[in-house]
């Protein structure tokens, strides 16, 4: 299996999803757009980004991420990640300050 798509109606929470995906070794591409994930999920996703060494593509477009803490968490963990090649988070509600934290951290991990 190289791809995994989740509809929010099939999962009760992102914590369970991220817990399973942290130890994943076969899924390379995650399409998680439009699942209504929000800032409450940021810590779980940050742990996934920093602990999974096999995922190369993540699409989190069209969710409900918005605050500065989410930007910091995502930025820190993506800055540490060595396997991810593409990260998509368009059409969320991230503030400009949150985006700044995310971008600043990513500049340290440019390949």
pLDDT (0 to 100) of residue 99: 92
Q: How far apart are the first and last CA of the chain?
A: 27
Q: Please give the model's pTM, rounded to 2 decimal places.
A: 0.83
Average pLDDT, the chain: 87
d(Cα 2, Cα 5) in Å, to the nearest integer? 10
pLDDT (0 to 100) of residue 46: 95
DSSP conformation class of 38: B
d(Cα 50, Cα 34) in Å, to the nearest integer? 22
pLDDT of residue 69 exceeding 50:
yes
pLDDT (0 to 100) of residue 60: 96
């Amino acid at each position: 299996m190289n791809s995994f798509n989740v509809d929010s109606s099939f999962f009760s929470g992102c914590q369970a999803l991220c817990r399973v995906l942290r130890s994943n070794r076969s899924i390379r591409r995650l399409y998680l757009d439009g699942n209504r994930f929000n800032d409450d999920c940021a810590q779980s996703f940050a742990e996934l980004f920093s602990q999974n060494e096999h995922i190369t593509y993540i699409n989190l477009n069209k969710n409900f991420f918005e605050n500065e803490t989410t930007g910091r968490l995502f930025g820190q963990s993506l800055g540490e990640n060595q396997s991810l090649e593409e990260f998509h988070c368009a059409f969320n509600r991230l503030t400009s300050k949150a985006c700044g934290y995310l971008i600043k951290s990513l500049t340290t991990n440019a390949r």
